Amino acid sequence: MTNHEQDSQVYQCEPSTSGSWQTITGRQSEVGGITVSRTLPTRNRRMIGPWVFLDHLGPVRFSAGQQGLQVGPHPHTCLQTFTWMLQGQIRHRDSLGSDQILRPGEVNLMTAGWGIAHTEESVPAKHAIDLESLQLWLAMPASQAAAAPDFQHYAQLPVLLQHGWQGQVLLGEFSGQQAPGQAYTPTVAVDWQLPASSTGVLPLNPAFEYGVYVISGRVQLDHQPLAARTLGYLPPGQQQVELQALEESRVLLLGGAPFSEPVTLWWNYVGHSKAYISAAQADWERGSGRFGEIPNPVAEPMAGPPVPWAPQK
Ligand code: MN
């Protein structure tokens, strides 16, 4: 997915040095009639481990024959896009030649490194379709800023059963189960489906900070209420957390070692300097070949807003 913000703020993401419990409420916006709720980055919380971006798209119902989602070619650098479908299907195409339909229960992990471009579009259907997904970005360390781009699709992910809860390990390792995707700093993501009135304790890595994002339902996290579309932040140092589902709920547990380098996020780029991002945008604008091309894209390439800082020498 893409950052549609026309004002496209610059976020300086500093490594976490200390922290306390936070509740982050998503900023709701509408993009082409689709509700998008963004909980990262926000003013008070820029990163959780390497995770710098969390958008919840939909749910939205497209009637039969409607075009649906059509996101034209746009660039990314120095980040990994991580897409988790909740309902419906999205077709991903990128400048490496990948062409992949993503369904619920599967992960697309695209590594931008030095640069990649991609498109995302609804899959045509003869009936109405509900579309809902989570789109996350992981910052890549400076050592990977010039890495070759890559795209991976994972249809098989480890399943966990704990406290009568079903979990799916989407990235990293949880309770001895290792997901296949590769991140560049220690991290974890687990999707949990919680029956109503269930309670359990999840083991945590005290070296990690965590976010618990409520996809749907209503939970209590260590006795703190957390509504749908909010993110609870847990600082490093916790051995475990108690999670109670007040109704049938679905949550995404995100975590990682606090990122050790400051990063800058602007539009669809992550970088370790403004000069790197300015150069990336200049390369995209003049079609330098850095990002490659996607034949017959679903929509026009996105130009992107002007870089909001003065040129740097
Ligand atoms: Mn994108």
pLDDT tens readout for residues 145-164: 999 999 999 999 999 998 89
Average pLDDT on 128-150 reads: 97
The per-residue pLDDT for range 4-50, each reduced to its tens digit, is: 665 678 888 776 655 789 999 989 987 767 889 999 999 889 999 99
Distance 50 CA to ligand 1 centre (A): 17
Distance 120 CA to ligand 1 centre (A): 8
Greatest Cα-to-Cα distance within the chain, rounded to the nearest angstrom? 59
209 CA distance to ligand 1 middle (Å):
25
Using CA atoms, how far residue 79 sits from 112, 113, 116, 147, in Å, is: 6, 6, 10, 10
**What is the 244 CA–ligand 1 centroid distance (Å)?**
34
d(CA 251, CA 211): 10
Share of the chain above pLDDT 90, in %: 82
Phi-psi region of 92 (alpha: psi -120 to 50; beta: other; left: phi over 0): beta
Give the per-residue pLDDT at 7: 62
* pLDDT for position 313: 52
**Would the pLDDT of 120 be above 70?**
yes
pLDDT for position 204: 97
Categorize the per-residue pLDDT at 220 as very low, low, confident or very high, splitting at 50, 70 and 90: very high
Are 69 and 123 a contacting pair, CB within 8 Å? Answer: no
Question: Does 140 score more than 90 pLDDT?
Answer: yes
Q: How far is the CA of 201 from the centre of ligand 1 (A)?
A: 35
- Whether 84 shows a pLDDT value over 90: the answer reads yes
* pLDDT averaged over every residue in the chain: 93
pLDDT at residue 312 in the model: 58
Mean pLDDT (whole number) for 264-291: 96
- What the block records as the tokens of 245 is 């589902």
Query: Which residues lie at CB < 5 A from ion ligand 1?
Result: 2
What confidence score (pLDDT) does residue 163 get? 86
Report if pTM > 0.85: yes
